Amino acid sequence: MNFMLQSSRVVFILNACFLIASIMRFSPGLRQTEMGSLVVIAGYRMAIFANAALNICLIMLILMDRTRIGAIPLWLMMANFLFLIAEIIFLFK
């Protein structure tokens, strides 16, 4: 279960990169750096795939045995799920 907790934390960091990359769309000066490029790649490319995979795994764990996800805080699961919805909306927009 430590793997799922670590994965949830990594996906949360990628979701933060998604949020920063979305903000960077409105400030063109921030995108011109190497760090800006890293945030955009992590936020737009990696976050949606990692977040979707994590949420599918969490849903499967919830359906199989509810006690196995006890190590992951509820706020972290909810935040990742809400970010997934925002990323899907952004993807189809």
pLDDT tens-place string over residues 59-85: 888 888 766 677 888 899 999 999 999
With b meaning 16 or more CB within 10 Å and e meaning fewer, what string describes 66-90? Answer: eeebeebeeeebebbeebbebbeee
Handedness of CA 38, 93, 91, 10 (dihedral sign): positive
Nearest to 51 by CA among 93, 2, 10, 23: 10
Is this structure's pTM higher than 0.95?
no
pLDDT of residue 67: 65
Between CA 62 and CA 51 the distance in angstroms is 16
Q: What is the extent of the structural domain holding 58?
A: 2-92
What are the tens digits of pLDDT across the range 13-29?
999 988 888 888 777 76
The more confidently predicted of residues 42 and 77 is 77
Q: Quote the number of domains for the chain.
A: 1
pLDDT of residue 38: 77
